[in-house]
Structure 1
Amino acid sequence: MRVVRVVSVLAAVVALLLGGGVAGAAPGGSFADRSIVRTSDDGWKVRLGKFGERVHSVPALSSGHGSYEAFLDLRGTAEITGRGSSPVDAAVLTTGFQVACQWQMDGVQVGVTGGPTAQMSISYPPAMVIGAQVMPSISTTLRNGTSTDVKFATKQLRGPKAGARMEGVRVEISGCVGLAKPAVRAYVRVAMSTAVNDNTFSLYGKPHHL
């Protein structure tokens, strides 16, 4: 009986560690489309949409210890409608994934390879990038128990709506040695400005392991 109890306790501890940081994270695959509507402080209706989200995990090409690789798809949209009390001076749509690792070896390296809209600022404070730029390779460092926003596309709204789609963006994470696999979570964000107010609204997908 004592042996059975010890095994049960160990199983519970392992289950807790596996769930640490990203409780209930789903496995990779296709994920449901989602949209939300928010109202700005000036009375504008703001709709954010997340479509075609897919995470296809594959064996890491480097085959290194703690290495993970996946291909990501995501389309984010933003639309501003209605009659606000103050005109919109500027609005920017941002799409990407948040990446996290439970444990790390001297900083987890995250490398991203994408198309002409893949971009990210790793300076501080972050620089706002308007429009598409060619940045075929992006890298940053994750710290133990933290996450980072990996920005794939930034698009200025030149009318009431805008969208940014990325397909087959390759993400490689090395040095992640926690019991839980690295986790990613899609996000779509719009930042808008008028003469009176600045508003930022965000839409998130569900977290899932690579």
Structure 2
Amino acid sequence: MSHGVAAAEPIPIADVTQSSDTDDGWHLSTTLTRMAINSVPNMAATAFTREGFVTGKAVATIGGNGSIPVNSGVLVLGLQLGCQVDLSEGGSLNADTDLGISPGLKGGDPIDDVGPYADIDLGGSINLLPGNITNIGLGKKALKGRTGEIVVHDAHVKVDGCGGQVAIRFFATVMIDTDKSDDSINAYGDILTL
């Protein structure tokens, strides 16, 4: 019998391909496939942490017959995480008390105005910062030929100190270098909520 964390069904994401011809005559492309996001209740059971697992594949292809040889190439697979409200600076709770004996007159019987008193002043603050977008790398592959790929299965992802929704999307970047120029192409998956 297995006792794992309860999870929803993974949400599949449509495949994406981007391509372009470089000034050197190469046809550069990158494809994102098999993308899925599985959001789960976070282990800390806090309202300010989001947790999930992601699966995906990125493929890079260098096609065509360029006029200048490719010196090197690299494929990167990653995630972009968008936090709506950054709570990472935390907050504070202040409690001030004032205890004593009050010997004053309030216009009535002086006996009624003498006695103990307690004033409690509660205050607090939460440091709300503008949301942010963070890139997380899932893999990097040097291209040693015309193609390369990165596959991740159930990679763990979490965002701490975030109020509101957390947006998530996959990205893939392929870059090549020749003696004449550097070129890159980027593909992005759909934006979903973690």
Please indicate the TM-score interval, normalised by the length of the shorter structure.
Answer: 0.7 to 0.9
Residues 1:168 and 2:154 are matched in the alignment: yes
1:77-104 Cα shifts (integer Å, max 9, x gaps) = 0000111010000000000100110101
More helix by share: 1
Rg larger for: 2
Structure 1 moving runs of 4+ over 3 Å: none
Q: CA RMSD in A?
A: 1.5
Q: In 1, distance between residues paired with 2:19 and 2:176?
A: 14
Residues 1:40 and 2:22 are matched in the alignment: yes
Contact 1:64–1:174 at 8 Å: present in 2 too? no
Aligned partner of 1:146 among 125, 132, 137 = 132
Show the counterpart of 1:184: 168
CA positional deviation for 1:144: 3.0
Aligned partner of 1:94 among 55, 70, 76 = 76
Q: TM-score, normalised by structure 1?
A: 0.67
Show the counterpart of 1:194: 178
**Aligned partner of residue 102 in structure 1, secondary structure:** strand
**Aligned partner of residue 101 in structure 1, secondary structure:** strand
Q: In 1, distance between residues paired with 2:147 and 2:80?
A: 24
- In structure 2, the CA distance between the partners of 1:85 and 1:72, relative to structure 1 (3 Å rule), is same
Q: Which runs of 5+ in 1 are unaligned?
A: 1-27, 109-142
Contact 2:76–2:141 at 8 Å: present in 1 too? yes
Q: Aligned residues: percent identity?
A: 28
**Aligned partner of residue 144 in structure 2, secondary structure:** coil
Show the counterpart of 1:8: none
CA positional deviation for 1:37: 1.9
Show the counterpart of 1:203: 187
Aligned partner of 2:85 among 96, 103, 113 = 103
User: How many corresponding residue pairs?
Assistant: 147
Show the counterpart of 1:159: 145
CA positional deviation for 1:200: 1.3
1:175-198 Cα shifts (integer Å, max 9, x gaps) = 1112xx101110010111000001
Show the counterpart of 1:4: none
Q: Which amino acid aligns with 2:157?
A: V
